[in-house]
Structure 1
Amino acid sequence: MGNHLTEMAPTASFLPHFQALHVVVVGLDSAGKTSLLYRLKFKEFVQSVPTKGFNTEKIRVPLGGSRGITFQVWDVGGQEKLRPLWRSYTRRTDGLVFVVDAAEAERLEEAKVELHRISRASDNQGVPVLVLANKQDQPGALSAAEVEKRLAVRELGAATLTHVQGCSAVDGLGLQPGLERLYEMILKRKKASRAGKKRR
């Protein structure tokens, strides 16, 4: 899905500036996925309504100096009845962003089940996962380390690169470093994949 350019990526460590990386944002309903998407797109907080299907936006993220990377971001609704559809969006994706509401500890067990289900789906094995522990601006929000523990992120398997980042859609805190880490993980996976093909 919009990902055929990946096959043509040069062997150099940088990606051509015209190529957008395909990233899918999933997570339970009300975790703040759409608000995070529009915070990245418009650099301001946008109050959003529950997503019934999906939203998609091209997001340009500066990476130091004049360099930048473009992400084609798909934000998919998180209501229970929509979750079986996640897999059709995540097929052949470059990276997964899983958003959790860090201020709603009682739903983390449900989030854990969904995170493990989507990242272990056959099409997604080895796809880098960025977990965003959103709503850090709210009192009582759990830290990134606590969220990582409760979601059992380390149990996703050695082949899956992961990073947990505290963030806030309200003030944008943590989003830039989170996306930078996601980009690094995607590059690392692409390099490893190319090296594996050469050895065959």
Structure 2
Amino acid sequence: MGGSYSTDVGYKILMIGPAGSGKNFLLQALTVGADNAVNETHTPGFETANLNSRRTKILYIIYNLSGEPAYRKLYKYFYPGTEGIIFMVNCADPNNIREASVDLDMILDARELRGLPILVIANKVDHHGAMDMEQLKTHLRLEAKLARRFWWICQLRNRYQFDVDIIMDTLDNFVQPRH
């Protein structure tokens, strides 16, 4: 195949973040558009979704892992075969940001996830009092913690399809072609 993407086998992407970080909304927005996505309750355990990129035709198999503390110890069972991570943070909630810092350290300590690309999503940056992307990068020390891997940060504003499209384009660019 010489550098072309295979659409036969999907790229396994883990979506991780504290409860209330917006993982369900993002997953829906990526599949049906920001205007058609609905805010849901927390994911019990995990859910999977197949997502086909309209631009590259890459198939992603997204594993949306519950951010509830009781489920975090189960994350390790989803690590094998993972090719990238979407890491969600609710920038309008100080408790969510604190939990995200703990989750990020857990991800970075996982041997099976070493070196994998991470797409950080700064969600709800448009809410009053929320951290912006630069503040989040500083608060979570992303540049220092992620210095040895490919990573990117994108914002996600409420019902803003442009942000969803940027996230999809970034996801397309951060997976590595299979040879």
What is the TM-score normalised by the length of structure 2? 0.88
Task: Give the counterpart letter for 1:104 in structure 2.
Answer: D
| Alpha-carbon distance between aligned partners in 1 of 2:59 and 2:130, rounded to the nearest angstrom | 30
Whichever residue aligns with residue 21 of structure 1, its letter is Y
**1:106 Cα deviation after fit:** 4.2
Q: Which moved more, 1:33-42 or 1:135-144?
A: 135-144
Q: What residue number does 2:61 align with?
A: 72
Matched residue of 2:49: which SS?
strand
Once residues 94 and 162 of structure 2 are traced to their aligned partners in structure 1, the CA distance between those partners, rounded to angstroms, is 20
**Where does residue 27 of structure 1 map in the other structure?**
17
Alpha carbons 2:44, 2:66 under 8 Å: kept:
yes
**Structure-2 change in CA distance of 1:92 and 1:142 (3 Å):** same
Counterpart selection for 2:49 from 53, 57, 61 = 57
1:13 pairs with 2:16 = no
Aligned CA-pair RMSD? 2.0
Alpha carbons of structure 1 residues 41 and 96: separation in structure 2 relative to 1, 3 Å? same
Using CA pairs under 8 Å that are at least 6 residues apart, name the structure with larger relative contact order, 1 or 2. Answer: 2
The answer to whether 1:36 aligns with 2:26 is yes
- Residue 97 of structure 1, CA deviation: 0.5
Question: Which residue in 2 is equivalent to 1:148?
Answer: 137
Q: What is the deviation of 1:49?
A: 1.3
- SS of corresponding position for 2:70: helix
Task: Identify the match of residue 37 of structure 2 among 11, 33, 45.
Answer: 45
8 A contact 2:154–2:163 mirrored in 1 = yes
State the aligned residue count.
177
Displacement of 1:42 in angstroms is 1.8
Tell me the TM-score normalised to structure 1 length: 0.80
**Per residue, is there more helix in 1 or in 2?**
1
Identity across the alignment (%): 22
Instruction: Write out per-residue CA displacement over residues 64-94 of structure 1, whole angstroms, 9 at most, x where no aligned residue.
Output: xxx3222111101001111111121132201
Separation in structure 2 between the aligned mates of residue 183 and residue 116 of structure 1, nearest angstrom: 25
Unaligned residue ranges in structure 1 (runs of 5+): 1-9, 195-200
Greater Cα radius of gyration, structure 1 or 2: 1
- Cα offset for 1:13? 2.5
Match of 2:91 in 1: 102
Secondary structure in 2 matching 1:163:
strand
